Amino acid sequence: MTSRNMRGDGSLIIVMGRDATDEDNRRVIDRLEAAGAEAHVSAGKSRTVIGALGDPAILATLPWEAMGGVESAVPVLRPFKFVSRDFQSDDTVVSVGDVLVGGDNFAMIAGPCAVETRDQLFTSAEAVHSAGARILRGDAFKPRTSPYSFQGLGEEGLQMLAEARDEFGMPFVAEVVDPRDVDLVASYADLIRVGTRNMANFTLLAELGKQSKPVLLKRGFTATVEEWLNAAEYIYKEGNHDVILCERGIRTFETSTRNTLDISAVPVLAQLSHLPVIVDPSHSGGRRELVAPLTRVAVAARAHGVMIDVHAEPETALVDGAQAILPAEFSALMEDVRALAGVMGLKL
């Protein structure tokens, strides 16, 4: 963490209107300098453009467009700092139990969407474990669009997950939806997930930043990559540096899939950030038959892993059964993943 990086080097372009006065220009420059930024003035034939270089976190949040004479203010660099590749050039590798996520490792995370019963959980866990999954997924708290849907088993579900971990030797990931439950979930889980609806729940993010279990941060289904990295920054700056990102599809006008998997986000993030990024092929497509192709795609994009819903009896699932694959389908898919990971230089 060098001081150079902490000073930041964001840049902001302020275009003055056609009728801006010298005094207008002067006030903008004064305010820039008061904010610790360097101002560079370019006077054109009919307009003046002021370029500012300084701390992006400060530059981005002052009300430039409210100042007299300003036509527009365009931030050029990003407001996040610690999570950027500029701040740390080496890949972050996160330890989840004894499984490494990041770098050249490809993590297979699998299990049921929600924990429903001990039997259901153990059947899935055994199946995915024997097929080669390394981290177990399963939720005890579910945020649901309708208040009338099944909301999860709560602590009882976490206990079952912990038993499955001990039985099969797989660390597990589970979601937290309430800042008051962070300590509870952290006391059981090896990796704590923030769901898509909570990506911008800054209260919850700050709480997760203050504890030490690694965090899996799903992208808000309507968040830009930049907003997602800002959310990661909320966790990181509180002191918890073990953050894994999870692309899970964004909301678009297309209706043949539940969301549109933004696979480009994987290479884009590899440029912008040092954090690992995995893909959720189950929730992005929302359809069982898309899980295998989107998993193969994630390997080819050099994601750091996938998280897959596997359910032994999808027809009886209480949550999201339409997208769960069967244990046998998961085993078959593992073969493809191994072959493609080999080509891409990734270790399972």
CA distances from 222 to 126, 189, 196, 303 (A): 35, 27, 9, 20
31 or 95: CB nearest a second copy: 31
292 half-sphere exposure, CB direction, 13 A CA radius: 13
302 is an interface residue for a second copy by CB under 8 A? yes
Q: How far is the CB of 171 from a second copy (least distance, A)?
A: 26
- Give me the residues paired with residue 209 across strands: none
Residue located via tokens 């069982």: 288
Q: Is 109 within 8 Å of 305 (Cβ atoms)?
A: yes
CB of 315 to a second copy, least distance (A): 5
Q: Among positive and negative, which fits the CA dihedral 261, 264, 267, 269?
A: negative
Distance from C-alpha of 317 to C-alpha of 326, rounded to nearest angstrom: 12
Q: Which is nearer to a second copy, 96 or 259 (CB)?
A: 259
b (16+ CB within 10 A) / e for 35-52: bebebeeeeeeeebebbb
Burial class (CB in 10 A: 0-12, 13-18, 19+), 31: middle
Nearer to a second copy, 97 or 179 (CB): 179
Q: Does 35 interact with a second copy (rule: CB under 8 A)?
A: no
Q: Is 254 in the site for a second copy (CB under 8 A)?
A: yes
**Interaction of residue 307 with a second copy, rule CB under 8 A:** no
Is 87 a residue that touches a second copy (CB under 8 A)? no
* Overall residue count recorded for the chain in this entry: 348
Name which of 122 and 202 has its Cβ closer to a second copy.
202
CB closer to a second copy, 163 vs 227: 227
Return the HEC string of 159-177.
HHHHHHHHHHCCCEEEECC
Q: Is 262 in the site for a second copy (CB under 8 A)?
A: yes
The least distance separating a second copy from the CB of residue 125, rounded to whole angstroms, comes to: 20
Q: How far is it, in rounded angstroms, from Cα 236 to Cα 254?
A: 34
Q: Which is nearer to a second copy, 11 or 92 (CB)?
A: 11
Candidate residues 29, 35, 51, 163; the one interacting with a second copy per rule CB under 8 A: 51
* C-alpha–C-alpha distance, residues 101 and 278, integer Å: 9
Applying CB under 8 A, does 26 fall inside the site for a second copy?
A: no
CA distance 80 to 66: 23
- Binding positions for a second copy, 166-225, rule CB under 8 A: 177-180, 197-198, 200-203, 206, 220-222, 224-225
Which C-beta is closer to a second copy: that of 188 or that of 221? 221
| Residue 251 makes contact with a second copy by CB under 8 A | yes
CB of residue 166 to a second copy, shortest distance in Å: 29
Residues 62-81 binding a second copy (CB under 8 A) are: 62-68, 72, 74, 76-77, 79-80
Nearest-approach distance from CB 128 to a second copy, in angstroms:
18
